[in-house]
Amino acid sequence: MKALNRAKINSFLDALRQRLRVFFEHTRDHFQENRARWIISVLIFLLLVATLWPSVFVTIHAGEAGVYYKRFGGGTIVDKVYGEGFNVIAPWDIMTVYNVRFQTNEHEIDVLTNKGMQVHIKLATTYKPEYETLGVLHQKVGPDYYHKIIVPAVETTVRKLVGKYDVEELYITQKDVLQKLTNEAAAYANDKYVKIESLQITKIEMPPKIKEAIEKKQEEQQLSEAYQYKLEREKKEAERKEIEAKGVQLANSIISSSLTDQILRWKGIEATLDVSKSQNSKIVLFGSGKTGLPLLFDTNTAIPTGKGK
């Protein structure tokens, strides 16, 4: 039985080898007879692969997200955003890749102040699309959302806000204006599926004479404030000296009222007694009158004598 089964298997394998040999020989003969057609077919296939590769195999890099458009499946998929990685799609569909990181673009605009003065402002806008609503943004606006949403939002806000100031206020209070611009522009753009993170006024250009007048006024104001500060400082110093003089005067008045003749005589006697207790030789001169106090002279100290008298 085993020998019979083995013979059947060998017979089947021999038949299979024979058929494969015939197939390859036939294919070889066919290729040799139609070599040109085979080469052209391979080239066409490679060309199709090279052409369809970007449409079929889509790589979404770091900081990017994709929106899938199905040509025969309902159009733009708005409830799903494709994240980073490798994706395979049908060649007739489209995967649009967006940069979802914060981006900064510069923008220039001419605006009028509340007094009709034209000012040229250069702005730097930092923004990004909202990730969760990227599909809706793609469907309603498209990849060129910066020029369709961000720029109009910034220009509308700038014209509206700057029109409330005159040139001098705008030049001096740039930080306050900038904060208001950011808040209002962000509120406007957030309803349009994008986020404005910040606005920076990089430069304000105005007529040279106006700018020179503003700077001169600021300089004069600073000098005035410095002069006022000096006046206040001198005034406080004068008040301090006046208070000090009044204190000295009051102290002298108190001391003068307490120094009677008896106290002065007693203090003189005490000083004389203290000096007389020392070991040095002394000469004692008694003063005249009731208030005269004795005078002591050290004999070791030479008493100057008048010369030429």
- pLDDT 10s digits, 157-167: 888 877 787 76
- pLDDT 10s digits, 208-251: 666 566 566 656 666 666 777 787 888 888 888 888 888 777 77
Answer yes or no: is pLDDT of 77 > 80: yes
Does residue 132 share a domain with residue 202? Answer: yes
Least confident window among 28-32, 58-62, 231-235, 299-303: 299-303
Surface-to-core class of residue 246, CB atoms within 10 Å of its CB (0-12 exposed, 13-18 middle, 19+ buried): exposed
Within-domain flag for 156: yes
Answer yes or no: is pLDDT of 20 > 60: yes
Residue type, 171: Y
pLDDT at 294: 58
Residue 12 CB-half CA count within 13 A: 6
Domain CATH for 124? 3.30.479.30
Tokens standing for 22?
Answer: 């015939």
Q: Residue 120 to residues 108, 167, 231, 239: CA-CA distances in angstroms? A: 7, 11, 41, 52
Within-domain flag for 149: yes
Q: Could you list the residue range(s) of the whole structural domain that residue 268 is in?
A: 261-298
Last residue of a domain, one of 160, 177, 206: 206
Within-domain flag for 157: yes
Quick one: pLDDT band at residue 68, thresholds 50, 70, 90?
Answer: very high
pLDDT at 308: 45
Least confident window among 43-52, 55-64, 243-252, 277-286: 277-286
Within-domain flag for 18: no
Within-domain flag for 237: no
pTM here is 0.54
Domain count of the fold of the chain: 2
Last residue of a domain, one of 206, 228, 249: 206
Within-domain flag for 10: no
Q: Are strands 94-99 and 194-205 parallel, antiparallel or unpaired?
A: unpaired
Backbone φ, ψ for residue 202 (5° rounding)? -80, -25
Nearest to 296 by CA among 307, 286, 304, 306: 286
Measure the CA–CA gap between 33 and 88, rounded to whole angstroms. Answer: 38
Measure the CA–CA gap between 172 and 168, rounded to whole angstroms. Answer: 6
Would you say the C-alpha torsion 163, 166, 170, 176 has a positive or negative sign?
A: negative
Q: Please give the average per-residue pLDDT across 165-170, as a whole number.
A: 71
Least confident window among 77-81, 95-99, 169-173, 301-305: 301-305
Quick one: pLDDT band at residue 2, thresholds 50, 70, 90?
Answer: low
Quick one: pLDDT band at residue 307, thresholds 50, 70, 90?
Answer: very low
Within-domain flag for 12: no
Within-domain flag for 239: no
Quick one: pLDDT band at residue 38, thresholds 50, 70, 90?
Answer: confident
Answer yes or no: is pLDDT of 98 > 90: yes
Last residue of a domain, one of 206, 232, 248: 206
